Each structure stands twice: as structure tokens, then as C-alpha cells.
Chain A
Amino acid sequence: MKIPLTYNLRNLWTRRLTTLLTVGGIALVVFVFAAVLMLAQGVKTTLVSTGSDDNVIILRKSAQSELLSAVSRESAALIETFPEIAADKNGKPLASANMVTIINLHKKKTNDMGNVTVRGVSPEILAVHPEVTIKEGRMLQFGSNEIVVGNAIADEFDGTAIGQKIQIGTNLWTIVGLFDAGKTGFASEIWGDTEQLMLAFNRPVYSSLTLKLKNPDDFETLKTKLSAEQRLQELEPKREKQYFEEQSEFMATFIRALGLVITIIFSFGAMIGAMITMYAAVSNRTVEIGTLRALGFRRRSVLAAFLAESLMLSLIGGAIGIIIASFLQFVSFSTTNFGSFAELAFGFSLTPGIVLGTLLFALAMGFVGGFLPAFRAARLNIIAALRSA
């Protein structure tokens, strides 16, 4: 039988100031740790949710992003004839030939210049991405110099209201609508007519081609066909989700790595704090430990009791840290995504995996901080402990 947990809990409560300070230290570290994971997850969630399960993106082989890719008009026309591609009620394939470039706009808050992705799209774009809807104004008229802007762009950048004009390439473009792309990467884009944008930039080729499959399982068939077709050898299909996930990888990894290094350094402070608290607890309760041992409680029970006390401290700290971090979900900001070199608006995203990982991290701190003091408590000589009264 073990020493009852109420013994530990009440001891924590008895020295509540020390408990509070230690818990506070752990909570701070856990907060930073959770925030980093939430940020990395936020980038990933934003970009991954940009892709759809049944969409395929065609890029030039080895192109790491749409900016570095080129798809010729002939290749695009050939691919659009593949029967695996879904069609609208008029039999027109649901495909959007994209031209992607970057322009500079002034940020509202800082007046600094920020990179913004401009995407040329085909008239089928809203059918290819039905999750995108026109929120205000109307959809652009294809064949004209009209553009629509994503919700995050309208929030972040100056001169992006409906009716205003923006210089893109050699022409001035009129904003006629605001589209809602939720929390996806599209929300940080400006969309115009591919053909018009290609003229403005004097580009002969598309950047990429997005297709909607009749059936998501047709991807492998499409891939096989593409690799068998002599004229399409320079191209490569990717599931859209996978493509955007790859786009998030570098930035998410960077945030995670930088954040983890900082948190690990912080965690040493928290662990030393927990260790000092627990050493003090053992030292103040030497007679109690001697008494428990005299009554017949074994060394391992004493070890477990003090370790449990340290784990309780860290668990309380961990829970508080996560609760505070969860409020970050209401915060959203934008920064340059290394994958596309353009502004990407994203938020902190809390998942059950992060909650679990963070609590385990807190418990690990409690274990490391509490083990040596608990070990010392368990090794105390009964006679010496009783004499310290």
C-alpha cells in the first residue's frame, strides 16, 4: 500500500506560496512550449487545409513551389482531356491553370512592404475550390483587368478595399470582390484572370495546373498516365494536400526547432526550481519520513510519494500553462512563409496531440526535478531522520 495522495496534496497546499511559485515557473515553460507547437501546427493546418483531397496539382518536376514551376499551354490542354478529371454540367473539365507571382503592398499596421501572392486562375476556380466563396462584391470578370482579394489580405494590407486599384505588372487592376477562404492559404492571395496576368507579365507558360478528380482514388491512375505520356515527361502530379503540406514543412520545422531549443533552455530553470522545492520539502519533513519508515512504509513508497508530489506540481503547472496557451487560438497574425516567400496569415492551433505532448513534457520536468530529492528521501536513515526532531 502506498502513502495516500492526500498527504502530498495537503503538503502542497500547506506550503502554498512555494507551490505557487514552482507551479508558476513550470506553467510559463509549458506555455512557451505549447505556444511553439501550436504555432508550428497553425502553419501546417493553414497550408494543409488549403489543399483538397480530390484535387491534384501539376507542377514541373522538382519544382519546390508554384513560383518555380512552369506548365506549357500544350501540356495543360493535353492533361485537361484525361477522363479522370471531373467536369461541370456543360462537360468542361474542372481545372484551373494558375499563374503565380508576387507583388509588394503596404501593411496597414506598420506601413512596411509585404510580399503578396497574386494567383492567376481560370473561370472554373470556384468549382475546383468550392470552399472559397465571394463574401463581398462579385467574382472577377474573366477577360478583364479585375481582381478579387482574400479575406486576410483585406485585413492586413492598405488599398485592398473593393473599388480600389492595384498596380500588378504593367497594368492597373480593379478590386471587384472580396473572397472568403476561411483559414486557408488562399485567404492571403489576390486572384485575377490567368490569361490577363500572363499578358501583363509577358509570360508564355502557366505556373501550375489544379485539377479536380472525379474520384480521389483516381490519383494513381492519373500519375501512371502522366508518366507514360511522352509529351508530359517534365511534369509531376501531386495531391494538393500533400503539396501544401510540403510547403508548410520548412517553416513549421523551423518554428518547432527554434522554439524547442528555447523551451529546453527554459525547462532547465523550471526543473531546478522543482528540484529546490522538493529538496526543501524533504528537508522540512525529515522526521515525517523517518516516522513513515518506522511505521513500516518501504523505501519505494517514500520514493513514490515524493515523486508523486513533484509530478503533481508539474501537472498543475502543465495544466495552467495549456489553459493560458489555449487563449492564443484567438490570436492570428501574418508573416512571410519561407516556402512561397509571400505573406501567410495563420493562427495558433491547439490539437489533442499538443495537449498530450505538453502534459508529458511537464511531467518529464516534474520527474527529472523530483527524482533526486525523492531518492534522497527514500535513502534517509530511519534513526538519523527521527533524531532530527
Chain B
Amino acid sequence: MADTIVQVHDVSKSYHRDSIEIPVLQNITLDVPEGEFLALMGPSGSGKTTLLNLIAGIDRPNNGSINVAGTNIVQLGESALAQWRSRHVGFVFQFYNLMPVLTAFENVELPLLLTHLSKKERKEHVETALNVVGLADRIHHYPKQLSGGQEQRVAIARAIVTDPTIIVADEPTGDLDKKSADEILLLMERLNGEFKKTIVMVTHDPRAAERAHKTQHLEKGELIQ
């Protein structure tokens, strides 16, 4: 039995719009074992992206606790949380979110600028990550010179370059054609199988969810068992 890497306990989250409180998540409890490939599914507005953001430490719950790799991230201050994210979380976004003015190499290098690695070590890490995603020959290309699938692979390289504890992916295939989407999913399966990366993925796409070990459904802010 693998250790639990993410423990979400009794977490609720609501937003305020003007004076109206809109509940998004209600009393969510979820454990993710190390090495898991978990898909979060549900209709729009079910709270799956909010849950992913909470696990990734870019949003805060109203109550409850979130333990990731032994740290209760709810208690961390702004700066400590930023530092924690840089060490433990790799992000994959639906629209890739690469910096358009930076090359593939420089985009992948960005998270490494937050570490104490030397320039030479950073170069080695970036090249390894780009090799894993099969883009070693596109190292000096700018995002606009790449296809959508290639851009997402650069984004995945950026997500894995720091060897994070978990990878969070929000609709990673949402903006891609079927062929590119398959390539990305294959790559994520490989990251999970070959490199033992824990992945939490939000998706609408049942074919994407099929690649995961486990799928959790959310509806109206609650997990459906």
C-alpha cells in the first residue's frame, strides 16, 4: 500500500459575489496515494478546478486542512506557500501558459530559477526534461513556432523539470486535437508509470479520464463515491 501524498480533510470553499455567498466545495475529504494518477471529473461549476487549485496551493479553503507531502499548506503564509509550490507542484494548464517571449528552453528553465542550481545544472535539467517530452530538437523555438501539442509538451517539461511531488493538470487536452491529445495523455501515463509521478488531472473528456488509475466525480461541490 502506497503512502498517502495528498490528504484533503473536510474542506469547504465558497466565493462571494457582491453580498451573495456561492458555495463551491462542501466538506470534501479525499486521499491521494503516492504514485496515483487521479482524474477529477464533473460538470462545469462542480468545483473540480477549485479542488485542484486548493491541492496545488494557489487557492485557500474557508475551512478544513490540506496536507501535501506532510505539510499542512493551509497554514502556510503567502511567501512560504509560493516557495512550497516551487518545490512540490508542477502545473499543466489547458492553454499551456508559456511565456511567449521566452524560448522552449527558457520556459522550462523558469521554475529552476527558484532553486539554488547552477547555470550548468539548470541546463542539464532542462535538456533532460525536454528529452523526456521528445522536444530536444525544439529547444530554441518560441511558443508561436510550435504546434499546440508541442506547446503543451513544453509546459509538461516545465512541470516536471523540478521533479515535483505532484503534477496538477487542468484540462491538459482541452485545447488540443485528438491526435495531440492522445500524445499528451500517453506522455502523462509515461510520467506516472515510468517516472512514478503523482498526477491529479481535471478533465471533461472521458477518454482522458480512462487513462487515469482512478476517477473521482464531483457534483455541486461534493464528491460522488
Tell me the residues in window 27-75 of chain B with beta carbons closer than 8 Å to chain A beta carbons. 53, 56, 58-59
A291 contacts B114, C-beta separation under 8 Å: no
* Interface residue B85 (Cβ < 8 Å from any Cβ of A): yes
Chain A residues contacting B91 (CB-CB under 8 Å) are 291, 294-295
Among the stretches B98-106, B132-140, B146-154, B188-196, the one at the interface with A is: B98-106
How many chain B residues sit at the interface, stated as a range, is 20 to 34
B106 contacts A291, C-beta separation under 8 Å: no
With A294-B85, A296-B82 as given contacts, are A4 and B113 in contact (CB-CB < 8 Å)? yes
Chain A residues contacting B78 (CB-CB under 8 Å) are 298-299
B102 contacts A297, C-beta separation under 8 Å: no
* Interface residue B97 (Cβ < 8 Å from any Cβ of A): yes
Q: Specify the chain B residue showing the minimal Cβ separation from A3.
A: B113
13 chain-A/chain-B pairs, Cβ below 8 angstroms: A4-B113, A6-B102, A10-B101, A14-B100, A288-B99, A294-B56, A294-B85, A295-B91, A295-B114, A296-B82, A296-B83, A299-B78, A382-B58
A1 contacts B113, C-beta separation under 8 Å: yes
Tell me the residues in window 367-389 of chain A with beta carbons closer than 8 Å to chain B beta carbons. 382-383, 386, 389
Tell me the residues in window 293-329 of chain A with beta carbons closer than 8 Å to chain B beta carbons. 293-299
A389 contacts B113, C-beta separation under 8 Å: no
Known: A287-B97, A295-B111, A383-B59. 19 other contacts (CB 8 A): A3-B113, A4-B106, A6-B102, A7-B101, A7-B102, A13-B101, A291-B97, A292-B110, A294-B58, A295-B86, A295-B158, A296-B82, A296-B87, A298-B79, A298-B82, A298-B83, A382-B58, A383-B53, A389-B97
Chain A residues contacting B56 (CB-CB under 8 Å) are 294
With A7-B101, A287-B97 as given contacts, are A297 and B106 in contact (CB-CB < 8 Å)? no
Chain A residues contacting B79 (CB-CB under 8 Å) are 298-299
* Interface residue A89 (Cβ < 8 Å from any Cβ of B): no
How many chain A residues sit at the interface, stated as a range, is 20 to 34
A381 to chain B, nearest CB (A): 9
* Interface residue A11 (Cβ < 8 Å from any Cβ of B): yes
Chain B: interface secondary structure? helix
CA A287 to CA B94, docked complex, whole Å: 12
Chain B residues contacting A297 (CB-CB under 8 Å) are 82, 86, 114
B95 contacts A389, C-beta separation under 8 Å: yes
Chain A residues contacting B86 (CB-CB under 8 Å) are 295-297
A295 contacts B110, C-beta separation under 8 Å: yes
Tell me the residues in window 276-298 of chain A with beta carbons closer than 8 Å to chain B beta carbons. 287-288, 290-298
Give which listed residue, A6, A11, A14, A386, contacts B93 with CB less than 8 A: A386
* Interface residue A2 (Cβ < 8 Å from any Cβ of B): yes
Chain B residues contacting A1 (CB-CB under 8 Å) are 113-115
Chain A: interface secondary structure? helix
Give which listed residue, A14, A293, A295, contacts B101 with CB less than 8 A: A14
Tell me the residues in window 1-55 of chain A with beta carbons closer than 8 Å to chain B beta carbons. 1-4, 6-7, 10-11, 13-14
Chain A residues contacting B82 (CB-CB under 8 Å) are 293, 296-299
Chain B residues contacting A296 (CB-CB under 8 Å) are 82-87, 111, 114
Q: Specify the chain B residue showing the minimal Cβ separation from A287.
A: B97
A291 contacts B83, C-beta separation under 8 Å: no
Tell me the residues in window 158-184 of chain A with beta carbons closer than 8 Å to chain B beta carbons. none
Tell me the residues in window 4-44 of chain B with beta carbons closer than 8 Å to chain A beta carbons. none
Complex interface bits, B101-131 against A, C-beta within 8 A gives 1, otherwise 0: 1100010001101110000000000000000
CA A6 to CA B78, docked complex, whole Å: 26
Q: Specify the chain A residue showing the minimal Cβ separation from B170.
A: A386
Chain A residues contacting B87 (CB-CB under 8 Å) are 296
For the complex of A and B, the 6 pairs showing the least CB-CB separation, nearest first, are A296-B86, A10-B101, A291-B97, A1-B113, A296-B85, A382-B58
CA A10 to CA B106, docked complex, whole Å: 12
CA A382 to CA B78, docked complex, whole Å: 11
CA A357 to CA B100, docked complex, whole Å: 36
Chain A residues contacting B97 (CB-CB under 8 Å) are 287-288, 290-291, 386, 389
Chain B residues contacting A4 (CB-CB under 8 Å) are 106, 113
Chain A residues contacting B53 (CB-CB under 8 Å) are 383
Complex interface bits, A194-221 against B, C-beta within 8 A gives 1, otherwise 0: 0000000000000000000000000000
CA A389 to CA B79, docked complex, whole Å: 25
Q: Specify the chain A residue showing the minimal Cβ separation from B158.
A: A295
CA A11 to CA B91, docked complex, whole Å: 23
Chain B residues contacting A298 (CB-CB under 8 Å) are 78-79, 82-83
CA A358 to CA B70, docked complex, whole Å: 54
Q: Specify the chain B residue showing the minimal Cβ separation from A299.
A: B78
B169 to chain A, nearest CB (A): 13
A295 contacts B85, C-beta separation under 8 Å: yes
Chain B residues contacting A386 (CB-CB under 8 Å) are 58, 93, 97
